[in-house]
Amino acid sequence: MITAQHISKTYKVSKRDAGFSSAFKALFRKEYEYIHALNDVSFTILDGEMVGYIGPNGAGKSSTIKILSGILTPDAGTCRINGLIPWKNRIEHVKNIGVVFGQRTQLWWDVPVLDSFELLKEIYRINTRTYRQNLEQLCHMLNLSELLKTPVRQLSLGQRMRCELAASLLHDPAILFLDEPTIGLDAVSKLAVRDFILKLNKEKHTTVILTTHDMQDIEALTSRIILIGKGKILLDGSIHDIKKGQESTEEALAAFYRSHDI
Amino acid sequence: MKKYLAFFRLRFSMGLQYRTAALAGIITQFAWAIMEILMFRAFYQADASSFPMTFQAACSYVWMQQAFLALFMAWMMENEIFDSIVNGNIAYELCRPVNVYHMWFARSLANRFSKAVLRCLPILLAAAFIPAPYGLMLPESPGAFFLFLFTLFMGTGVTVAFCMLVYMISFFTLSPQGIRMVSVSVVEFLSGATIPLPFFPDQVRSILELLPFASMQNVPLRIYSGDLCGTAAWQAAGLQLFWLFALFSLGRIIDALAMKKITVQGG
């Protein structure tokens, strides 16, 4: 179970006007602005839930994911994930989670995918039997068998993303964080990824927390959405609370953003 | 421990696949060694008695240095590590149940060893067949050879521990370039990579020999060429142990600080 209470995070952002003279001035006096990325955010997510975490760019989605996965320390607030505080018990905590950042890669660039998987096996101390089972299952579900021996640099984005998903799941994590997993993917790959996430949740009961800008992802995958804007939670409910009978989710969401001035 | 060994293995096998780079490296190092030896020859012809090492010892020093270049050169830092700090890919590494410092340490060691393994044999073989005094001479005794091997590993450890400091400090700066350039030049000069430390004036040398930089290539190369032997060799090995421990501990402290205040920017 994930409980987050009153989480706040402020970033210090350096600011200056464009141009040479301001650059010169900034040499002597730097100006900073404080941005409240997260402002008193609280929510609870139960085991086995699939939650869509949405909001416009810069709303604080990635910050939340980073805090939940233990790589960012919030300024205030508490968070417990299966009894552990992520940023205090980072190493214990990350054993039980899987993370996919759609815009980054965790696979070793110049070696075959399988080498990266073998490394993960050692890092997470997965015993050989479980590893084989999981690998076989993931290969089957994500259709990877052709790709495992290829160096990562020669995979297409869609192929790589399927491998990234598998890499995050080899150690049977109880919770999976997906940060824009379908970004840049073609229709076929998107459907494959969605299909897989649904199956995973059904069969292994993995808790999935997903951030995305793709409304079809949300509609296909999640029954519950948490909508965040300017660092605050604006809505915690289902997609229908936004749609309210409108046909296009995209437009309904844009209208919602506008009405909240975010 | 096992997971860090796995990192070592993967980085090592990855390093072995860059064959063309190794070939190019070997050729460069040959050319460099020949140039250096010719330069020393000119000096020694002027007045051999005014130099602290025999000409043959200086040649052995140069050949060994070129053969094991990858173990000691500070500029062979890993761009991938700097990249992951600058572009935020470190996010993934932080999502693993591993200590970042230990992981990168294992990785850097593997990188250096894989490069050295590919390059050292051809150079050592060829240098052994070059006639004296220009070629590589055999070590004085089996004892000296084993002490050479031991200090070779320790020296690599000190070099990696020093590079780790540079990686760790990069967490606090916008760009790693500055600290990298400064530290590389300092190491190059003070470790005996440009000219062996015995060639420095005595007073300067006695200070330099106490610094961590002298615990890198200086000790093993001078033990091999017979310049450093007996009690002095053992003392130098002891100092290596001390610096390895000191740099490692300092690196771990900076690591702990960095982990507390790290912010991975961008979505």
Is the pTM of the predicted complex or chain greater than 0.80?
yes
For residue A128, count CB atoms less than 10 angstroms from its CB and return exposed for 0-12, middle for 13-18, buried for 19 or more. exposed
* B90 in Cβ contact with A70 (< 8 Å): no
Angle at A252 between CA A251 and CA A257, to 5 degrees: 95
Find, among B233, B83, B71, B234, the residue nearest to B162 by Cα: B71
| Helix axes of A113-123 and A128-142: crossing angle, nearest 10 degrees | 140
Q: Give the pLDDT score at B242.
A: 97
- Please give the domain boundaries of chain A with CATH numbers for all domains: 2-96+174-259 (3.40.50.300)
Kindly tell me if the per-residue pLDDT of B267 is higher than 60. Answer: no
Looking at this protein, which amino acid is placed at residue B45? Q
CA distance linking residue A258 with residue A192, whole number of Å: 33
In the three-class reduction of DSSP (H, G, I as helix; E, B as strand; rest coil), residue A81 is classed as strand
Q: In the predicted model, what is the mean pLDDT of residues B67-86? A: 89
Give the per-residue pLDDT at A132: 95
Q: Beta A97-101 vs A224-229: how paired, if at all?
A: unpaired
CA distance A109 to chain B (A): 10
A86 prior amide bond cis, ω within 30:
no
For residue A119, the chain B residue with the least C-alpha distance is B6
What are the structural domain ranges in chain B?
Answer: 2-261
Local confidence band at B265 (pLDDT 50, 70, 90 cut-offs):
low
Contact state of A94 with B89 under an 8 Å Cβ cutoff: no
Task: Quote the DSSP letter at residue A112.
Answer: B
For the cut 90, the answer to whether the pLDDT of residue B245 exceeds it is: yes
Taking an 8 Å cut-off on Cβ atoms, the answer to whether B14 and A111 are in contact is: yes
Which regions of chain A are under pLDDT 50? none
Check B267 against A103: CB less than 8 A apart.
yes
* Band (B264; pLDDT cuts 50, 70, 90): low
Q: What is the pLDDT of residue B171?
A: 87
Going by DSSP bridges, is the β-strand pair A207-211/A2-15 parallel, antiparallel, or unpaired?
A: unpaired
Reported ipTM exceeds the 0.95 cut: no
Query: Is the CB of A91 less than 8 angstroms away from the CB of B99?
Result: yes
User: Rounded distance, CA B140 to CA B225, Å?
Assistant: 8
Beta bridge partners of A34: A12
Residue B155 reports pLDDT greater than 90 = yes
Under 8 Å between Cβ of B110 and B198: no
Average pLDDT for chain B: 91
Decide if B91 and A110 are in contact by the 8 Å CB cutoff. Answer: no
Please name the member of B10, B91, B260 whose beta carbon is closest to the beta carbon of A115.
B10
What is the pLDDT averaged over residues B174-188?
Answer: 90
B252 Cα distance to chain centroid? 20
CB A262, CB A56: distance < 8 Å: yes
A-interface mutation test, from B85, B92, B103, most A Cβ less than 10 A away = B92
Q: How far apart are CA B201 and CA B51, in angstroms?
A: 11
The confidence score (pLDDT) of residue A47 equals 93
Strand A31-45 relative to strand A2-15: parallel, antiparallel, unpaired? antiparallel
Chain A CB contacts of B8 under 8 Å are: none
Cβ atoms within 10 Å, residue A216? 15
Distance CA A154, CA A30 (A): 44
Stretch B109-118: mean pLDDT: 93
